Amino acid sequence: QKEVEQDPGPLSVPEGAIVSLNCTYSNSAFQYFMWYRQYSRKGPELLMYTYSSGNKEDGRFTAQVDKSSKYISLFIRDSQPSDSATYLCAMASGNTPLVFGKGTRLSVIA
Amino acid sequence: GAVVSQHPSRVICKSGTSVKIECRSLDFQATTMFWYRQFPKQSLMLMATSNEGSKATYEQGVEKDKFLINHASLTLSTLTVTSAHPEDSSFYICSARGTGPYEQYFGPGTRLTVT
């Protein structure tokens, strides 16, 4: 079992839809959870980070962490074509290197 | 978020030559820098971790003599691909970490093509 599992998609949704992106993990030591957005041929951009369990909201984006289920989610409300990108979850324990999911390719169709 | 620059953004070189890629944290001091490699439609593959003033820690399977990493200051790390071969062609991305595990920011990447 890989440390972090993420469905690669592709995921295609109409503009305005609510998007749900998810990752599961196996290492219970993970405490820091991040979501990155990567446009084609660009470096990943940090979208949100969460420490331990709980929710965090930033504009149209909401990150959720359920440590009991080892499951994290990123919700995008009112999705826009500009949200079309690959979304990578990442997690770490302490100062260890981030462990990334494979990324989910999202297309928002106008 | 914090800014990490990477230079050059694209480089084409001949087989057997060496190529140096620079990574700079522009508005924060990076205690740790990371180098990743990414193949098309694949996730990031960590190559090595470096701390300022220390030798880099390479991931299993990464040749340290081929991929030379120097972390000379809290704002600059370099990756030198020595004696490059076509199979080294890839997208190389650096990342810099500030004071917290979640404060890890990525550069825009360097596309290396070895002919």
For the stretch A1-26, pLDDT in tens is 678 999 988 999 999 999 999 999 99
B1/A46 Cβ within 8 A: yes
Give the residue among B14, B9, B6 at the shortest CA–CA distance from B88.
B14
Distance CA B115, CA B87 (A): 10
**A70/A5 Cα distance (integer angstroms):** 11
- A109 confidence band (pLDDT: 50, 70, 90): very high
The residues of B whose Cβ lies within 8 A of any Cβ of A are 1, 4, 6, 32, 34, 41-44, 46, 49, 91, 93, 95, 97, 100-102, 104-109, 111
Among left, alpha and beta (phi > 0; psi -120 to 50; other), residue B53 is: left
**Residue B33 pLDDT:** 93
pLDDT at B98: 81
C-beta of residue A74 within 8 angstroms of C-beta of residue A56? no
| Placement of tokens 């790390």 in the chain | B77
Give residue B41's pLDDT: 81
Asked whether B76 and B57 are in contact (CB, 8 A), the reply is no
Q: Do B6 and A43 count as a contact with CB atoms less than 8 A apart? A: yes
Answer whether A14 touches B (CB < 8 Å): no
All residue ranges of chain B with pLDDT < 70 are 1, 100-101
The DSSP result for A81-95, as a single string, is GGG-EEEEEEEESTT
- Residues A36-48, mean pLDDT to the nearest whole number: 93
Predicted pLDDT of residue B1: 64
Whether a cis peptide bond, with omega within 30° of 0, leads into A97 is: no
Mutate one of A5, A35, A46 to test the B interface: name it (highest B CB count within 10 A). Answer: A46
% of chain A exceeding 90 in pLDDT: 82
The token duo for A37 is 């957005």
Residue A72: how many other CB atoms lie within 10 Å: 27
CB B87 within 8 A of CB B19: no
Chain A from 70 to 89: CB within 8 A of any B CB: 88
Instruction: State what percent of residues in chain A have pLDDT above 70.
Output: 99
Better-scored residue on pLDDT, A96 or A106: A106
For residue A102, pLDDT over 70 is answered with: yes
Contacts of B43 in chain A (CB under 8 A): 88, 100-103
A23-43 as b/e: b if 16+ CB within 10 A: bbbeeeebbbbbbbbbeeebb
